[in-house]
Amino acid sequence: MHWYVKVLKKYAVFSGRASRQEYWMFFLFNFIFAFVLGFISGLLSGATNTDQSVLSTIYQLAVFLPSLAVGVRRMHDTEHSGWWLLVPIVNLVFAVTPGTTGENKFGPDPNRSASGSIG
């Protein structure tokens, strides 16, 4: 949950880098929340005979920018431009690839704290 909140705090920060753990933990929690909201929407739709997909839609709109921003930062961690998010298979390969150790042109290593230890 820490990683999910960390990404939301950087709501529209497209600069810097995001570690694999940060990216995939956000992806996991985002998927879980979207699934739960979809399930709740389905239950409400069945009970009231109306379309209740507005909950899921609002959630997806709310997390669109953070999702895009963490994806761009993840591409930066592998020393690639954020534009690679537009290339379907390649962006998945880059997302699972380990990031550059140490500083790269996009910023400091997200896996290292200020003291230099892994954290």
Query: DSSP readout, 6-52?
Result: HHHHTTT--SS---HHHHHHHHHHHHHHHHHHHHHHHHHHHHHTS--
Q: Is the pLDDT of residue 100 over 70?
A: yes
List Cβ neighbours of 116 (8 Å cut-off, separation of 6 or more): none
pLDDT category of residue 64 using cuts at 50, 70 and 90: very high
The residue that leads in pLDDT, 56 or 22, is 22
Other Cβ atoms less than 10 A from the Cβ of 54: the count is 11
Q: Is the pLDDT of residue 113 over 70?
A: no
pLDDT given at position 56: 85
| CA–CA separation, 56 and 38 (whole Å) | 6
Rounded to two decimals, the pTM is 0.84
- Amino acid sitting at position 119: G
pLDDT given at position 118: 47
